[in-house]
Amino acid sequence: MAELIDHPCVQHKLAIIRDEETGHKRFRELATEITKFICYEALKNVPTREVTVQTPVAKATCRKIDTDIVVVPILRAGVGMLEGILELVPTARVGFVGLYRDEETKKPVTYYERFPPQIRGGTCIIIDPMLATGGSTVAAIDLLKEEGAKNIVVVVIVTCPEGIALVEKAHPDVSIYAAAIDEKLNENKYIVPGLGDAGDRLYGTSH
């Protein structure tokens, strides 16, 4: 299932981050801001427990999150979204997945993975600015499930029907949250209209 976060504040920031004139400093700031909004929605169904706290006036019945939150950026661009989630959930743990595409097979190959043990029984949030073909996202979900993760959501800034379809086919139990579901992939597997190469724009490595 893919859910579009169509809030006016998200869409306003999306218009700025898409603009080719937006520099890498502002791009990073916007990635953080947009991620916070999307994760706010992505975490709306996490388990909570009832607690009692003493206010200056009286006791109050409140709720606290009752699960470990584990954030898993897909290297390298996913790291650009990490701060947004950690500002929202400072106690979240962080794992990492590094993937590259084999030029012959065109399939993702893992070169790095590191997960905290709390992925088993916790809520795992895979983050990557772009969900394009879906291959890297599916591979990251595969790795998490192999390590025992059962509750996984995907948070991206921009995606497209092709990427959504691949993830839904491979992992129908995983929800996708995005600020934009764009038209299509072009012949170079870039999302159209998209926002360009997110990694290059985050870190200023483009020409």
Region 20-48 average pLDDT: 95
Catalytic residue among 26, 101, 110, 120: 101
Burial class (CB in 10 A: 0-12, 13-18, 19+), 102: exposed
Region 98-107 average pLDDT: 78
182 is catalytic: no
pLDDT at 22 over 90: yes
18 is catalytic: no
Q: Convert the pLDDT of each residue in 131-169 to its tens digit.
A: 999 999 999 999 999 999 999 999 999 999 999 999 999
pLDDT of residue 106: 67
101 is catalytic: yes
CATH class of 2-203: alpha beta
| β-strand partners of 108 | 101
pLDDT of residue 23: 94
Residues 56-69: b if buried by 16+ CB within 10 A, e if exposed: eeeeeeeeeeeebb
pLDDT of residue 117: 95
CA distance linking residue 118 with residue 133, whole number of Å: 29
Non-local (6+) Cβ contacts of 27 within 8 A are: 17, 201, 202
CA distance linking residue 75 with residue 199, whole number of Å: 9
pLDDT of residue 207: 53
In the predicted model, what is the mean pLDDT of the chain? 94
